[in-house]
Chains A and B, each alone.
Chain A
Amino acid sequence: MSDQRAERLLGAFACVVLLMIMLMVVSVIAKAWPSFAHNGLAWFGSGGAKTVDAQLADIFNSPSGAKNYVYELRAWPLLYGTALITLSSLVIGLVFALLAAIFIVEFAPKRLQRILEPAVRLLAAVPSVIYGLIGVLVLVPFVGNSLISTERKQDVIYVVQLSGNSVLVAVTVLTVMITPIMVALIVVALRAVPPAWTEGSAALGVNRWRTIWTISVRAVRPAIIAAAVLACARALGEAIMLSMVSGSLGFSPNPLDGLTFLFEPARPLASTIVEGAEGFSVAPFGQTMYAFGAVLLVSSLFLSLGAHHAKQSLRRYGLTP
């Protein structure tokens, strides 16, 4: 094969990939458009006469004929559930991942290090459905039977049923899922810090913790942000595990409820799409699902962009591994 033809062939493959990506963005947004167009900005708002689940049921049962389609939706409880679960597990996971990464790089004895690194890789590779299974068959019954008292259940019985499928379990399992991703990325970045920097600090009499905290961690801050952003994208798109443990109820947990808040159910966007899988043939319902997908897609686009920028500033210091 001639060289030019090879270049063109390989280039064609690359163009196919690029084309599919653009097609994806355009077609998801185009499919989602009717749902946004009918609701305007109120789509993102709260309120409406009914709960989100009732609104979705109305859309699903809307009469046939394009003119009669029902689109009315106030998606706030779903957006709020997504943000609540994603951000809380991100914050907990980030602290945990940073400490664990410092431990692996700096303080862990060699033998423990040899166990920890495969353990991190394993945790990152376990399929989400297995996490979901453990969550729903072990943690949910535990929370439902042992942590939630009968009085607490009675208190809110007219508002929501507390079964153990809760924000608490969702955040716990999601934290376990996204922490290893962050640990792996932060470890790689910390290892790329030139030894001369930390050695210089140690030579000035700074202790090891101070050295790694003020020199290494500070130098890899962009990598930490990139790791957090990638983990956030992962958490945002997690559908199956959350639909198993989070209660599958379009409910907004209220922080003012005190401890009960932790035990209230919620349902993120991605899980809503999975649970609506069988309704895609109903046009308005399918379009509403695509609207959820479009929100996820656009947010993950922005997250990828953020991660890219963070990595760019890392490259400026010459710290790319």
Chain B
Amino acid sequence: MAAGARRAPRTRAVESTATWRRSDRVALALCWTAGIALCAIALAIVLFMFYKGIETLRPALLADRPAEDASQREAGGFLDPIVGTVLLTVMGTAIAVPLGVATALWLVEYGRPRALARAVESGIEVIAGTPSIVLAIFGLAFFSQQIFSFLSFTAEGNAVFGRSFFIAAMMMSFIALPLVFGSTREALLAVPGHVREASYALGKTRWATIRRVLLPSIRPGIATGTALGMGRIAGDTAVVVILLGATLRLDAVGEAPIISTLKGTGSTLTSYVYNNSPAGEGNAYDKAYAAAFVLLLVVIALNFTVDLIARGRKGTRWT
């Protein structure tokens, strides 16, 4: 019997708020107000964005590249920003997931020496609390050094630009890392000890246990963390504004087919919205709404994925 199902009807049947003191009733009313207000705000934001999105989104916007000059009012869509968002999200997660999963595995399954384990744990907590803007300027400082000149383009006088898809993706992976790490660790801790012991008893090494027993069973946890991380990467603006250059189009550097794009600068949906809002130079509010609508759809889809994974997870239960 679930705790909530047991508790709720009984107290509700016995107790009428008419017997409460006035201060308690006021507090209850405030609770209702807060709850309803929260619902109303969420509903208002979603409905408003849908209304604006349906009003402003045209298929041509999705297929056209942004206009060459700063003003986006006359021509141009946001094909490049969509490509940029996809590229950055995929690259960022591709770095963050192995790193996060490996770190969590090491911490939970090995975790020796203790001091190092504790340091890693608090280090990840530090990253989770660090503003993305600070990560962005750290990336700029770090990757502007000469040895990293292969990651971005080199201006005249040998100054490394320090802004490219590669660099932005690396810093983005730090935004997703704590989420991947957190949900992987939670999933690992949820696997009971006797499952591991059963595997050891069969003569398997720790590593074999991790690969054959633990990794398959924590896959939903990793997937949840990945989806959450993707949502955060797709929604982050500060890193993009600082580390992806200020070009709306994808500006490739060099000749090599894919590497040149990744070495180059570009934009994502978030920076496109920022640029076209009154704070930027694009001055095309309708297009900002349309791009924001697409971005919101992406984020809602990722959230929905998390829900689906969480619902599917109830089936796997250790006995």
Q: Give A residues with C-beta under 8 Å from B.
A: 1-3, 6-7, 9-11, 13-18, 20-24, 27-28, 31, 96, 99-100, 102-104, 106-108, 110, 112, 115-116, 118-123, 125-130, 132-134, 136-138, 140, 176, 179-180, 183, 195, 198-199, 202, 207-210, 213, 230, 233, 236-240, 243-244, 248, 270, 273-274, 277-278, 280-281, 289-290, 293, 296-297, 300-301, 303-304, 307-308
Q: Assess the B138–A280 pair: CB atoms within 8 A.
A: no
Q: Within the complex, which residue of A18, A118, A183, A273 is in contact with B123, where a contact is CB–CB below 8 Å?
A: A18
Q: Assess the A137–B285 pair: CB atoms within 8 A.
A: yes
B133 within 8 A of A: yes
| Closest beta carbon of chain B to A18's beta carbon, Å | 5
Q: A28-B137, A239-B238 are in contact. Are A119 and B43 (CB under 8 A)?
A: yes
B24 within 8 A of A: yes
Q: Assess the A128–B235 pair: CB atoms within 8 A.
A: yes
| Closest beta carbon of chain B to A136's beta carbon, Å | 5
Complex Cα distance, B138 from A289, in Å, reads 11
Could you list 24 examples of A-B contacts with CB < 8 Å? Answer: A2-B205, A10-B110, A14-B120, A17-B99, A21-B126, A24-B134, A28-B134, A100-B31, A107-B35, A120-B42, A121-B303, A128-B235, A133-B288, A207-B17, A209-B24, A237-B130, A240-B237, A244-B274, A248-B279, A281-B159, A300-B130, A301-B129, A304-B129, A307-B125
Most chain B beta-carbon neighbours within 10 Å: one of A110, A179, A207: A207
Complex Cα distance, B144 from A27, in Å, reads 12
Q: Assess the A230–B129 pair: CB atoms within 8 A.
A: yes
Chain B contacts for A236, CB-based, 8 A: 131
Q: Assess the B119–A18 pair: CB atoms within 8 A.
A: yes
Complex Cα distance, B42 from A176, in Å, reads 9
Complex Cα distance, B177 from A137, in Å, reads 33
Chain A contacts for B11, CB-based, 8 A: 202, 208
Q: Assess the A237–B279 pair: CB atoms within 8 A.
A: no
Q: Assess the A136–B278 pair: CB atoms within 8 A.
A: yes
Q: Assess the A308–B125 pair: CB atoms within 8 A.
A: yes
Q: Assess the A14–B107 pair: CB atoms within 8 A.
A: yes
Within 8 A of A (CB), among B119-148: 119-120, 122-135, 137-138, 140-142
Complex Cα distance, B116 from A7, in Å, reads 14
| Closest beta carbon of chain B to A226's beta carbon, Å | 11
Complex Cα distance, B134 from A31, in Å, reads 12
Complex Cα distance, B270 from A130, in Å, reads 8
Chain A contacts for B48, CB-based, 8 A: 134, 138
B214 within 8 A of A: no
B234 within 8 A of A: yes
Complex Cα distance, B125 from A274, in Å, reads 24
**Knowing that A3-B205, A240-B270, A300-B130 are A-B contacts, what are 17 other residue pairs whose CB atoms are under 8 Å apart, sorted by A's residue number?**
A9-B102, A28-B138, A99-B30, A107-B28, A116-B39, A120-B42, A125-B300, A126-B45, A127-B235, A129-B237, A129-B292, A132-B274, A138-B48, A233-B131, A280-B137, A297-B130, A300-B134
| Closest beta carbon of chain B to A169's beta carbon, Å | 12
Q: Assess the A16–B99 pair: CB atoms within 8 A.
A: yes
> How many B residues, CB 8 Å from partner?
93
| Closest beta carbon of chain B to A76's beta carbon, Å | 20
Q: Assess the A104–B35 pair: CB atoms within 8 A.
A: yes
B70 within 8 A of A: no
Q: Within the complex, which residue of A14, A121, A127 is in contact with B102, where a contact is CB–CB below 8 Å?
A: A14
Q: Give B residues with C-beta under 8 Å from A.
A: 3, 7-8, 11, 15, 17, 19-20, 24, 27-28, 30-35, 37-39, 41-43, 45-46, 48-49, 98-99, 102-103, 105-107, 109-110, 116-117, 119-120, 122-135, 137-138, 140-142, 159, 174, 177, 205-208, 210, 231, 234-238, 241-242, 246, 270, 273-274, 277-279, 285, 288-289, 292, 295-296, 299-300, 302-303, 307
B300: nearest chain-A partner, CB-CB: A122
Complex Cα distance, B237 from A127, in Å, reads 8
Most chain B beta-carbon neighbours within 10 Å: one of A3, A108, A112, A248: A3
Complex Cα distance, B11 from A38, in Å, reads 66
Complex Cα distance, B124 from A6, in Å, reads 21
Q: Assess the B277–A115 pair: CB atoms within 8 A.
A: no
Q: Assess the B39–A304 pair: CB atoms within 8 A.
A: no
Q: Assess the A293–B134 pair: CB atoms within 8 A.
A: yes
Complex Cα distance, B123 from A16, in Å, reads 11
Q: Assess the A3–B207 pair: CB atoms within 8 A.
A: yes
Complex Cα distance, B177 from A208, in Å, reads 41
Complex Cα distance, B116 from A210, in Å, reads 45
Chain A contacts for B278, CB-based, 8 A: 136-137, 140, 244
Chain A contacts for B132, CB-based, 8 A: 237, 239
Q: Within the complex, which residue of B15, B42, B234, B295 is in contact with A122, where a contact is CB–CB below 8 Å?
A: B42
Q: Within the complex, which residue of B207, B234, B303 is in contact with A2, where a contact is CB–CB below 8 Å?
A: B207
Complex Cα distance, B15 from A210, in Å, reads 13
| Closest beta carbon of chain B to A281's beta carbon, Å | 7
Q: Assess the A129–B270 pair: CB atoms within 8 A.
A: yes
Q: Assess the B35–A112 pair: CB atoms within 8 A.
A: yes
Q: Assess the A21–B123 pair: CB atoms within 8 A.
A: yes
Chain B contacts for A239, CB-based, 8 A: 131-133, 237-238
Complex Cα distance, B238 from A51, in Å, reads 26
Q: Assess the A130–B292 pair: CB atoms within 8 A.
A: yes
Q: Assess the B31–A127 pair: CB atoms within 8 A.
A: no
Chain A contacts for B279, CB-based, 8 A: 132, 136, 243-244, 248
Q: Assess the B106–A7 pair: CB atoms within 8 A.
A: yes
| Closest beta carbon of chain A to B37's beta carbon, Å | 8
Q: Assess the A11–B110 pair: CB atoms within 8 A.
A: yes
Complex Cα distance, B40 from A179, in Å, reads 14
Complex Cα distance, B279 from A91, in Å, reads 27
